[in-house]
Amino acid sequence: MVLTIGRGLALAAGGAAVVQWTPALAAHVPRLATAFAIPRTIPSKRGVLLSFDDGPHRQGTPAVLAGLARAGAPAVFFVVGEQVVRYPELVREIAAAGHEIGVHGYRHQTRREWTRGLLAGDTRRALDAVHEAGGPRPRFYRPPHGVFSLGGLRCVRSLGLEPLLWSRWGRDWEGRATATSIAERATTGVRAGDVVLLHDADHYGAAGSWQKTAAALPRIFDQIAAAGLEATSVRDATENRGRLGGPIRGPQSPVALAVVP
């Protein structure tokens, strides 16, 4: 039995819950993320964190790195293990440029129905790939499509990783996206502490989408500056605070929070 509440929120028998990101549910996602102690923002008075998922990518990652370098801006890259194996040198380039590296799993698959053992194995494999590529030990974890379960949260935290979602996105994986639309979605109403979701790869999105993301970066930085803000790193934002999230709360039944692009 499935009970649907509004548009996109479904509660299934056994305690499973899935949230599809729709305008009707936008107001509910922060409360759900807070209930499960999943950070969507960073503690910063002036900083905005740019995050890039799905890489590394042979062309997309260097293009994004170049845009960040021109702006003198830091970012965090949530890399996919199977792509790290293909492009290990790009992991080293990301780290050498001073950016942070998080893991986005080894395979880009939704984890809603994965057992804890499957998730642990996939995450360890991703961590091993980064290590073998010569990258630093990742601190953060973001699951594909933003899908978490309580068991999954406990699993990634037991591996020494901190979960981090996002509060804004550019929807840059869509074929209809443009550099202008990406920048507008990512920065309209931007506030201190926001985490912006972007992509430096088109492995799992529209072909060539990374080109529009790279082209959007100058406008994104202009809009952040116009709001009196600046791009920051998680390292700087948490220097005096430590971990982003708190203890896991909620029922013992498997509950998944999915913020699905």
Specify the CATH number for the domain of residue 142: 3.20.20.370
- Residue 245 is assigned to a structural domain of this protein: yes
Are 10 and 3 within 8 A, CB to CB? yes
Higher-confidence residue of 116 and 178: namely 178
Residue scoring higher pLDDT (36 or 73): 73
CA dihedral 30, 35, 38, 44 (to 10 degrees): 60
Prediction pTM value: 0.82
Q: What is the pLDDT of residue 34?
A: 56
Catalytic residue among 57, 104, 108, 199: 199
In a domain? residue 200? yes
The Cα 231–Cα 220 span in angstroms is: 10
Res 247: pLDDT: 41
Question: Which pLDDT belongs to residue 117?
Answer: 78
Q: In the predicted model, what is the mean pLDDT of residues 220-242?
A: 88
Q: Distance between CA atoms of 169 and 227, rounded to whole angstroms?
A: 17
Band (160; pLDDT cuts 50, 70, 90): very high
Residue at 219 is within a domain: yes
- Which residues constitute the domain of residue 195? 39-250
Residue 34 lies in a domain: no
Distances (CA, A) of 37 to 3, 11, 67, 113: 24, 20, 33, 20
Could you tell me the two tokens for 194?
Answer: 């926001």
Our answer to whether residue 199 is catalytic in this structure is yes
For range 86-106, the mean pLDDT? 97
The answer as to whether 159 is a domain residue is yes
Q: Give me the chain's average pLDDT, please.
A: 82
Arithmetic mean of pLDDT, 40-66: 96
- The first and second tokens of residue 154, run together, are 């406990």
For the chain, how big is the Rg over CA atoms in Å? 17
Residue 100 vs residue 245, higher pLDDT: 100
Residue 23: closest CA among 40, 39, 8: 8
Tell me, yes or no, whether 29 lies in a domain.
Answer: no
pLDDT band with cut points at 50, 70 and 90 for residue 13: very low
H helix or E strand, kind and range, residue 169: strand 168-169
For the question of residue 53 being annotated catalytic, the response is yes
24 in any annotated domain: no
Residue among 53, 54, 172, 194 flagged as catalytic: 53
pLDDT band at 110 (very low <50, low <70, confident <90, very high): low
Domain-located, residue 150? yes
The total number of structural domains that make up the chain: 1
